[in-house]
């Protein structure tokens, strides 16, 4: 699937970035934009998405992280994700506070399940599921 770069939701008029709409735990009515970030280790999203999707965070591993200049608490749990016509199970860090209107798709929970080709000169990227 080829996806055009778009602006970050709160950055109207800003530089286009590789954003991909993601559904969490088969919650089809909510597609959350996520920055496809090859430098990010984890996939991170706001905690309200876990609550809305019915992802039970009781017993989740909790970690303190820094994202950009913001300190956050993340509860890590495995949940289903759907994006680019592909569904997979992966560990997601559901964060509070989460000061952004977009999530992060990182190495452990996104790139290991997909081959991603960035074509920055064309403001697009391609996402292909990895054969399992």
Domain ranges for the chain:
19-129
DSSP state of 130: P
The answer to whether 93 and 63 are in contact (CB under 8 A) is: yes
pTM: 0.91
Write down the mean pLDDT value for the chain: 92
How much is the pLDDT for 132?
65
* CA 131/CA 105 separation, integer angstroms: 19
Contact at 8 Å (CB) between 53 and 23? no
CA separation for the pair 104, 35 (Å, rounded): 5
Of the candidates 112, 102, 94, 132, the one whose C-alpha atom is nearest the C-alpha of residue 41 is 112
pLDDT > 70 in the chain, percent: 98
- Greater model confidence, 85 or 115: 115
* CATH code for the part of the protein at 19-129: 2.40.70.10
Q: Using pLDDT thresholds of 50, 70 and 90, give the confidence band for residue 84.
A: confident
Residue 69 is predicted with a pLDDT of 81
Average pLDDT over residues 92-112: 94
Span 2-56, pLDDT tens digits: 999 999 877 767 889 999 999 998 887 889 999 999 999 999 999 999 999 999 9
pLDDT digits (tens, 9 = 90+) for 46-60: 999 999 999 999 999
CA–CA separation, 94 and 101 (whole Å)? 13
User: Omega into 97 within 30° of 0, i.e. cis?
Assistant: yes
Strand extents, DSSP E, the chain: 2-4, 19-24, 32-36, 44-46, 61-67, 70-83, 86-96, 103-105, 114-119, 124-129
């Amino acid at each position: 699937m080829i996806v055009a770069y778009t602006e970050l939701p709160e950055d109207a008029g800003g530089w286009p970035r590789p954003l991909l709409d993601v559904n969490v735990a088969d919650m089809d009515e909510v597609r959350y934009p996520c920055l496809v970030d090859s430098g990010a280790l984890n996939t991170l999203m706001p905690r309200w998405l876990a609550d809305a999707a019915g992802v039970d965070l009781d017993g989740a591993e909790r970690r303190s992280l820094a994202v950009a200049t913001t300190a956050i608490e993340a509860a890590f749990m495995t949940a289903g994700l759907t994006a680019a016509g592909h569904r997979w199970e992966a560990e997601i860090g559901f964060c509070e506070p989460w000061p952004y209107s977009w999530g992060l798709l990182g190495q452990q929970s996104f790139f290991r399940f997909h081959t991603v080709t960035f074509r920055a000169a064309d403001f697009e990227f391609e996402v292909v599921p990895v054969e399992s």
